[in-house]
């Protein structure tokens, strides 16, 4: 191949000045045929670099690349060594090259792939295996009223697909519970996830794009190993894909208002909704989103062996009744914890009171919405039974179900003690449902005793439907009519055994 300047000289001398092929060839000391070729050439394509082939290595390079990519999704201690890769090539792929050749190739490819990953500046929309996350809100018919509930959306920009779950709040525990559910449903972890500056994740925004993360979120990231990105303040468009998916989910799955009876069961149905939605063409790529989702899946990180404990531990002080305050909601503990500091464990749906040995003392469903207090009466009832007068007019007394508050106010002190001891025995998991029915049934015959309530309770427990007096089943003979004398006295013992 002649230099560009030589080719240009040939074309000028022959085509512009009319020189012959031979004369130009003599001046340049070239073959006339070479001069003719370049003078009349129409195209000058870029010369592609010649790729040197390697008979031994070329067949196994795709295998090595696959292994290297798989290892980059795992912890470093679980990466295969070049020696191990060489041994597997020899054993399973009849490799005839040397260990040194494999070692050199693996070292070079690892460096190239790492530089590509670290230097990639493509938007997340272009990279398989990445995700964006945000909350949205929608109206739901929940517990007989229409309320707005948040839902968490994880979108996959490359395949234009998503997953979503509904939660009672946008707190840290709900965010991490939602992410973890999605990871384990997916069977992998996105390589990079972009967030808005959610308060459950970001404690403080510093200068130069730095973020101070919440402790629980930071440990969650370390556990699952994904990279995170946060939008600049006021730049929600930097996560435009998930914002579009939040709107899409609301319009296509949550309007008009869905009825929720059990939130966990409702969320189970949403996985199938997301899967079925993938069976449509991508808006640009003319390929089914379900096929592009498979490409996303290939790039995900491998799940760790254990799930992350999405909880928050803290120490709080109880008031004089043993009541604690968590996020402006009140929860009972036990009278023996009055005015003491207590360890608690907070999850997205529960508040668990722990003793010094981290054993569970009381467990509450976590409160959301307008309800402000959760009482578990089990630890209080024995104290109440000993001191009904002292407790009768306290705020604790008013926390009983209305039926029992009214009933206990009509009881004498001794009756109160008996009834409270009965409640301490029968009340399980703070569920008054059956006890309320038993009290109503027993009260149909007037003010009942503790024994009558107990009898009604066990009748209902054994699926009895009516309140009947307890009558002894004895085989008592009929007493004859009274007459003078003792002539009929023996008839009273008829059927008896004489001695």
Read off φ and ψ for residue 195, nearest 5 degrees: -120, 160
Q: Give the pLDDT of residue 392.
A: 61
* Alpha-carbon 68 to chain mean position: 30
Q: Give the pLDDT of residue 138.
A: 95
The C-alpha atoms of residue 443 and residue 319 are separated, in whole angstroms, by: 36
Closest-CA residue to 310 (of 459, 479, 436, 173): 173
The C-alpha atoms of residue 397 and residue 400 are separated, in whole angstroms, by: 6
The C-alpha atoms of residue 498 and residue 495 are separated, in whole angstroms, by: 9
| 8-state DSSP, 16 | I
> 25 is written with which tokens?
């060839």
> 77 is written with which tokens?
């201690």
How crowded is residue 183: how many other Cβ atoms within 10 Å of its Cβ?
A: 22
| 8-state DSSP, 74 | S
Q: Give the pLDDT of residue 233.
A: 61
| 8-state DSSP, 377 | -
CB 352 within 8 A of CB 344: yes
> 121 is written with which tokens?
């500046």
* Residue ranges, the chain, pLDDT below 50: 121, 465, 467, 469-474, 482-489, 492, 497-499
Q: Give the pLDDT of residue 139.
A: 94
The C-alpha atoms of residue 442 and residue 422 are separated, in whole angstroms, by: 14
Q: Give the pLDDT of residue 313.
A: 92
Burial class of residue 473 in the structure, from the number of CB atoms within 10 Å of its CB (0-12 exposed, 13-18 middle, 19+ buried): exposed
Q: Give the pLDDT of residue 303.
A: 93
**Please, which residues have CB within 8 angstroms of residue 475's CB and are 6 or more apart in sequence?**
none
DSSP 283-347: TTT-SBHHHHHHHHHHHPBPPPSS-----EEEEEE--TTSEEEETTEEEE--GGGTTSEEEEEE-
CA angle 229/235/238 to nearest 5° reads 50
Residue 327 Cα distances to 122, 149, 346, 413, 440, angstroms: 41, 18, 11, 38, 36
Residue 382 Cα distances to 335, 395, 406, 417, angstroms: 10, 17, 20, 9
Q: Give the pLDDT of residue 318.
A: 93
The C-alpha atoms of residue 58 and residue 52 are separated, in whole angstroms, by: 10
- Listed in sequence order, the DSSP H helices in 372-412 are 381-386, 388-392, 402-409
* Alpha-carbon 79 to chain mean position: 28
Q: What H or E segment, with its residue span, contains residue 282?
A: none
Q: Give the pLDDT of residue 223.
A: 92
Q: Give the pLDDT of residue 204.
A: 84
The C-alpha atoms of residue 198 and residue 172 are separated, in whole angstroms, by: 9
Distance between start and end Cα atoms, the chain: 138
Q: Give the pLDDT of residue 490.
A: 52
The C-alpha atoms of residue 219 and residue 409 are separated, in whole angstroms, by: 52
Q: 61-72 vs 99-119: helix axis angle to the nearest 10?
A: 50
How crowded is residue 344: how many other Cβ atoms within 10 Å of its Cβ?
A: 21
Q: 61-72 vs 82-93: helix axis angle to the nearest 10?
A: 130
The C-alpha atoms of residue 296 and residue 273 are separated, in whole angstroms, by: 19
How crowded is residue 5: how many other Cβ atoms within 10 Å of its Cβ?
A: 8
């Amino acid at each position: 191949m002649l230099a560009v300047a030589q080719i240009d000289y040939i074309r000028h001398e022959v085509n512009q000045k009319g020189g012959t092929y031979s004369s130009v060839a003599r001046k340049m000391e070239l073959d006339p045929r070479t001069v003719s070729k370049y003078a009349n050439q129409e195209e000058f394509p870029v010369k592609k670099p010649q790729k040197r082939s390697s008979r031994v290595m070329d067949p196994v390079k795709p295998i090595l690349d696959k292994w290297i990519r798989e290892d980059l999704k795992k912890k470093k201690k679980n990466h295969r060594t070049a020696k191990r890769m060489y041994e597997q090539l020899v054993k399973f792929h009849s490799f005839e090259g040397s260990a040194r050749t494999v070692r050199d190739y693996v070292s070079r490819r690892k460096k190239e792939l790492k530089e590509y990953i670290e230097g990639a500046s493509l938007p997340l929309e272009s990279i398989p295996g990445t995700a964006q996350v945000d909350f949205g809100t929608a109206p739901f018919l929940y517990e007989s009223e229409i309320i707005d509930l948040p839902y968490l959306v994880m979108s996959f920009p490359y395949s234009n697909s998503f997953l979503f779950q509904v939660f009672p709040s946008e707190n840290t525990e709900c965010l991490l519970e939602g992410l973890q559910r999605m990871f384990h449903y997916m069977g992998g972890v996105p390589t990079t996830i972009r967030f808005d500056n959610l308060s459950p994740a970001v404690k403080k925004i510093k200068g130069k794009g730095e973020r101070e993360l919440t402790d629980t979120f930071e440990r969650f990231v370390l556990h699952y190993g994904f990279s995170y990105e946060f939008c600049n303040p006021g730049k929600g468009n930097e996560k435009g894909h998930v914002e579009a998916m939040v709107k899409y989910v609301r319009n296509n799955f949550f309007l008009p208002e869905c009825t929720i009876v059990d939130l966990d069961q409702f969320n189970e149905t949403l996985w199938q909704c997301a899967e079925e939605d993938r069976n449509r063409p991508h808006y640009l790529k003319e390929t089914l989103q379900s096929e592009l989702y498979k490409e996303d899946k290939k790039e995900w990180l491998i799940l760790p062996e254990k799930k992350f404990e999405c909880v928050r531990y803290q120490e709080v002080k109880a008031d004089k009744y043993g009541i604690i305050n968590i996020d402006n909601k009140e929860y009972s503990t036990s009278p023996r914890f009055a005015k003491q500091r207590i360890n608690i464990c907070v999850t997205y749906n529960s508040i668990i009171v722990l003793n010094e040995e981290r054993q569970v003392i009381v467990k509450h469903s976590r409160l959301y919405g307008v309800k402000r207090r959760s009482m578990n009466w089990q630890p209080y009832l024995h104290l109440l039974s000993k001191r009904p007068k002292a407790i009768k007019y306290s705020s604790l007394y008013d926390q009983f179900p209305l039926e029992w508050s009214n009933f206990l106010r009509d009881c004498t002190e001794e009756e109160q003690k008996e009834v409270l001891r009965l409640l301490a025995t029968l009340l399980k998991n703070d569920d008054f449902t059956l006890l309320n029915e038993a009290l109503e049934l027993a009260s149909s015959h007037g003010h009942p005793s503790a024994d009558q309530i107990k009898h009604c309770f066990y009748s209902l427990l054994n699926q009895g439907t009516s309140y009947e007096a307890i009558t002894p089943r004895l085989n008592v003979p009929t007493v004859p009519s009274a007459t003078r004398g003792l002539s009929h006295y023996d008839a009273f013992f008829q059927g008896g055994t004489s001695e």
